[in-house]
């Protein structure tokens, strides 16, 4: 996948693609249907497949004082889109200049003159342009003047009839229901980052942990989770079962919310390494213990419960991406054009349960 952070002076080979347009926070199953429709159209037309998105998320620009809400920071979003077979990823900086751009100017300058789009695909609720004046109908009308067609994808829905949405994922995580979040995402929700040095209290309790800051991530329900932790090993990620804690460590008068991950049967050094932690199931709410012995016993019970739940889990594995239509055979695989990001190749289909790099 080639990554561009601009829409001007786009090389000729990246122009003329079918473009999926949206914020795609979460890259959930609804988003996947939009990207998948763009892939299908690209296959029909024999052209490349692109995604156009924005960073930071417009909500961060307009409401900077609000608590973090992101489901997929840019690194994860890019990795998910690459795994779906996207050829070109255009990431526009959402700043005051872009916020002032009218819907009409966006269609003409960005999609028409800039990308030379062959076709544009959006979700049913996508709006754009200054004052959010642009909608699918306006995009379709203006696109015709620029020589591209427009497809509007109806909402993808769960078996209950409820549309898949980023809001539903946020609500599920805040309620301590990562299984419901995974049902919308098509994979367990992840937090990833660089492992920090801590105060080694976990070592003293017999359960060493890798500590990750939440940073710009949405804060899920505080408490104990059954997790899978992904460690980058060369070009692949090795997933290990574990138990995780999201909270402030009230028993030790902590203040900052952290994710602490204990990996079962792992003795390696993780300090400074990049770690992916998928929240698979919620075990219990946060609690305070006034006795270290009781805390140690509770951690042991939580670890045993996490092992039990992970053994019974039969949902999609971490990082899973639903397969998309095959690419046109005549197109050569694009090179990575990183401009500061080098996305790592991820799985392009769901492996069988218990067969996705986890030692058992």
> Could you report the average pLDDT of every consecutive run of 10 residues in the chain (360 residues)?
95 97 96 96 96 93 87 92 95 95 97 97 94 94 96 92 94 97 96 80 69 92 97 82 88 72 90 92 90 88 97 89 55 36 32 39
CB-facing half-sphere around the CA of 153: CA atoms within 13 A:
26
pTM: 0.84
Query: Helices 178-185 and 166-174 meet at what angle, rounded to 10?
Result: 160
How many angstroms separate the Cα of 124 from the Cα of each of 31, 59, 246, 263?
A: 11, 19, 35, 41
* 248 and 136 share one domain: no
Query: Domain for residue 292, yes or no?
Result: yes
* 217 and 286 share one domain: yes
Query: Domain for residue 322, yes or no?
Result: no
The set of residues, in sequence order, having a beta carbon less than 8 Å from that of 65 and lying 6+ positions away, is none
The kind and range of the H/E element at 278 are strand 274-285
Cβ atoms 309, 280 nearer than 8 A: yes
pLDDT value, residue 175: 97
* 201 and 262 share one domain: yes
Cβ atoms 243, 227 nearer than 8 A: yes
Query: Domain for residue 329, yes or no?
Result: no
- Structural domains in the chain (count): 2
Of 199, 193, 293, nearest in space to 254 by CA: 199
Distance CA 201, CA 287 (A): 16
Q: What is the DSSP letter of 157?
A: B
* 15 and 142 share one domain: yes
Distance CA 352, CA 328 (A): 27
Boundary residue ending a domain (276, 291, 312): 312
Structure tokens at 174: 């805040």
Query: Domain for residue 321, yes or no?
Result: no
Query: Domain for residue 158, yes or no?
Result: no
pLDDT value, residue 360: 38
Three-state secondary-structure class, residue 56: coil
pLDDT value, residue 205: 61
* 145 and 30 share one domain: yes
Handedness of CA 205, 206, 208, 209 (dihedral sign): negative
Query: Domain for residue 175, yes or no?
Result: no
* 290 and 234 share one domain: yes
Cβ atoms 218, 173 nearer than 8 A: yes
pLDDT value, residue 346: 32
Of 185, 206, 205, 280, nearest in space to 242 by CA: 280
Query: Domain for residue 161, yes or no?
Result: no
Boundary residue ending a domain (92, 126, 153): 153
Distance CA 283, CA 116 (A): 50
How many angstroms separate the Cα of 137 from the Cα of each of 50, 58, 116, 133, 134?
A: 21, 21, 19, 11, 8
Integer Rg of the chain from CA: 22
Three-state secondary-structure class, residue 292: helix
Three-state secondary-structure class, residue 270: coil
* 146 and 193 share one domain: no
* Chain mean position to CA 320: 11
pLDDT value, residue 201: 59
Backbone angles phi, psi at 202, to 5 degrees: -60, -40
* 23 and 148 share one domain: yes
Alpha helix (H) ranges present in 201-291?
A: 201-205
Q: What is the DSSP letter of 22?
A: S
Residue range of the domain that includes 149: 2-153
Distance CA 238, CA 147 (A): 46
* 132 and 246 share one domain: no
* 114 and 210 share one domain: no
The enclosing domain of 286 has a CATH number of 2.40.30.30
Structure tokens at 201: 């209290």
* 219 and 293 share one domain: yes
Query: Domain for residue 168, yes or no?
Result: no
The enclosing domain of 35 has a CATH number of 3.40.50.620
* 130 and 200 share one domain: no
């Amino acid at each position: 996948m080639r990554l561009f952070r601009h829409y001007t002076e786009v090389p000729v080979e990246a122009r003329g693609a079918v473009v999926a347009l949206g914020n795609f926070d979460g890259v959930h199953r609804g988003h996947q249907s939009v990207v998948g429709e763009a892939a299908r159209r690209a296959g029909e037309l024999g052209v490349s497949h692109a995604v156009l998105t924005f960073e930071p998320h417009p909500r961060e620009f307009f409401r900077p004082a609000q608590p973090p809400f992101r489901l997929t920071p840019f690194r994860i979003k890019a990795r998910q889109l690459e795994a779906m077979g996207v050829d070109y990823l255009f990431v526009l900086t959402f700043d005051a200049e872009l916020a002032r751009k009218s819907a009409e100017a966006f269609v003409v300058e960005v999609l028409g003159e800039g990308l030379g789009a062959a076709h544009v695909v959006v979700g049913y609720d996508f709006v754009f342009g200054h004052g959010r004046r642009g909608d699918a109908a306006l995009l379709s009308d203006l696109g015709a003047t620029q020589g591209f067609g427009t497809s509007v994808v109806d909402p993808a829905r769960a078996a209950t009839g409820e549309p898949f949405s980023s809001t539903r994922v946020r609500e599920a995580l805040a309620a301590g229901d990562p299984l419901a979040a995974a049902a919308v995402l098509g994979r367990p929700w992840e937090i990833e980052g660089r492992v920090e040095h801590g105060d080694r209290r976990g070592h003293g309790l017999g359960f060493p942990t890798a500590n990750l800051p939440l940073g710009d991530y949405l804060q899920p329900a505080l408490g104990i989770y059954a997790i899978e932790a992904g460690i980058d090993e060369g070009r692949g990620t090795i997933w290990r079962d574990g138990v995780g804690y999201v909270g402030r460590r009230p028993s030790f008068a902590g203040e900052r919310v952290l994710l602490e991950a204990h990996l079962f049967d792992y003795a390696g050094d993780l300090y400074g390494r990049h770690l992916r932690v998928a929240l698979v199931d919620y075990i219990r709410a946060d609690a305070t213990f006034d006795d270290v012995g009781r805390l140690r016993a509770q951690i042991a019970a939580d670890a045993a419960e996490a092992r039990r739940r992970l053994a019974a889990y039969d949902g999609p594995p971490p990082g899973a991406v639903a397969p998309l239509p095959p690419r046109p055979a005549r197109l050569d695989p694009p090179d990575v054009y990183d401009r500061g990001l080098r996305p790592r190749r991820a799985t392009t289909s769901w492996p069988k349960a218990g067969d996705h790099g986890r030692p058992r």
